[in-house]
Amino acid sequence: MAIPTPFAVGRVNCYLIEDEPLTLLDTGPNSATSLTALEAALAEHGRRPEDLERIVVTHQHIDHIGLLDILAKRSGAEVCALDLLAPWLANYKQEMEENDSFSAEIMLRNGIPQDVVYALRAVSASFRAWGASAQVTRPLAEGELLEFASRSWRVLQRPGHSPSDTVFWDEASGELFGGDHLIKHISSNPLISRPLGEVSPRRDTATAVKLGPRGTDERPRALMIYMDSLRTTQEMELEVVYAGHGDPVEDHVVLIDERMKMHERRANKLCELIAKRPSNAYELAQEMWGNVAVTQAFLTLSEVLGHVDLLIDEGRVSERVQDGVTSFQAA
């Protein structure tokens, strides 16, 4: 069920699982327009929000969790989400504020001007109303089975696009409900986000770097984490991936190969720019995307830092910090 959102990504896919218990996967953003559209989509299948018995969440982004609390209260449905995400959802407002502070620290450290940072924080604060806090009544552990009357889903964490990305694998049918982990028509952005309460045991400390003089928190290497997750998914035997946006993915192996090559090309382009002159991440974003680097500053910054992390890991680029701002130079 494709539900409208106010965001550039367009409609978000919510899925109705007509089994026992009757289950909704993802909810759409917290808006009257989205709720009306969801009610209409359910009605096409002879259902109402009050009929829902279980609601499952793929990850923390507001176009996927916004209506969760409203629907749970109307239906009394069980709410299922990754165990690491449960405290985040319960403390949504505070977590969003702390993530904005975390993001501002990264932006300042990487050359984004203070006035742009202030403006982006104001925009982010205005967006929070599209989400809402919610109580998870059934936290899901990595590898757990979520049972239905006629199927079961294996719960698998696939962080990268967000720290809480969770996919649900029907091993018998080869179906994977992937959220935003893999989308057919666009590459999922590995956004730099404040880590959840604890790190998955599958991830090691090599996937984070220190913020440096401005702060002591670690900055996750979001793209490297995401590519690690994609490689794990690529090894799975799947018939179809039902995505959080757009059409289903019917050949995940080929699509993931294409995405890996795209990231390699982008890293090489950035390496060429850095070889011409040392630059900070904001300067590199402007060279890559022009004015978009201002209007979408944190998105483009995440892109640049993700690919620079690859170059640093390969020994092709080094970094230095001067006056609290990081710049990159050819190694």
pLDDT of 202 over the 60 cut: no
Beta carbons of 267 and 310 less than 8 angstroms apart: yes
pLDDT given for residue 11 in this prediction: 96
Going from the C-alpha of 90 to that of each of 4, 28, 37, 112, 121, the distances in angstroms are 25, 18, 26, 32, 22
Domain of 48? 2-330
pLDDT given for residue 219 in this prediction: 85
Of the candidates 275, 245, 184, the one whose C-alpha atom is nearest the C-alpha of residue 28 is 245
Contacts of 203 (CB under 8 A, 6+ apart): 159, 225, 228
pLDDT given for residue 5 in this prediction: 95
Of 135-139, 169-173, 208-212, 294-298, which gets the smallest average pLDDT?
A: 208-212
CA 163, 220, 185, 245: dihedral to nearest 10 degrees?
20
pLDDT of 200 over the 70 cut: no
Beta strands in the chain (DSSP E): 2-3, 12-13, 15-17, 23-25, 54-56, 78-82, 138-140, 145-147, 152-157, 166-170, 175-179, 208-210, 218-220, 240-243, 279-280, 317-322, 325-330
pLDDT given for residue 201 in this prediction: 37
pLDDT of 212 over the 60 cut: no
CA distance 209 to 205: 8
Query: How high does pLDDT run on average in the chain?
Result: 93
Long-range contacts, stretch 207-211, CB < 8 angstroms, 24+ apart: 209/309, 211/105, 211/106, 211/109
Per-residue pLDDT tens over the stretch 26-54 = 999 999 999 999 999 999 999 999 999 99
pLDDT given for residue 205 in this prediction: 35
Per-residue pLDDT tens over the stretch 255-281 = 999 999 999 999 999 999 999 999 999
In this prediction, residue 214 has a pLDDT band, given cuts at 50, 70 and 90, of very low
pTM of the model: 0.92
CA distance 266 to 237: 29
> Which residues are 15's β-sheet partners?
25
Q: Averaged over 181-197, what is the pLDDT?
A: 92
pLDDT given for residue 256 in this prediction: 98
pLDDT of 12 over the 70 cut: yes
In this prediction, residue 208 has a pLDDT band, given cuts at 50, 70 and 90, of low
Tally of CB atoms within 10 A around 261: 10
pLDDT given for residue 8 in this prediction: 84
pLDDT given for residue 152 in this prediction: 98
Tally of CB atoms within 10 A around 271: 19
Beta carbons of 57 and 64 less than 8 angstroms apart: yes
Match 């407002």 to its residue by tokens.
93
In this prediction, residue 294 has a pLDDT band, given cuts at 50, 70 and 90, of confident
pLDDT given for residue 41 in this prediction: 98
pLDDT of 198 over the 90 cut: no
pLDDT of 85 over the 50 cut: yes
In this prediction, residue 295 has a pLDDT band, given cuts at 50, 70 and 90, of confident
In this prediction, residue 104 has a pLDDT band, given cuts at 50, 70 and 90, of very high
Domains of the chain: total: 1
Per-residue pLDDT tens over the stretch 107-149 = 999 999 999 999 999 999 999 999 999 999 999 999 999 999 9
pLDDT given for residue 207 in this prediction: 52
The two structure tokens encoding residue 138: 């059934």
Q: Is 166 left (phi over 0), alpha (psi -120 to 50) or beta?
A: beta
CA distance 104 to 70: 31
pLDDT of 61 over the 80 cut: yes
pLDDT given for residue 151 in this prediction: 98
pLDDT of 209 over the 90 cut: no
Q: What is the CATH number of the domain that holds 103?
A: 3.60.15.10
pLDDT of 74 over the 50 cut: yes
CA distance 136 to 248: 28
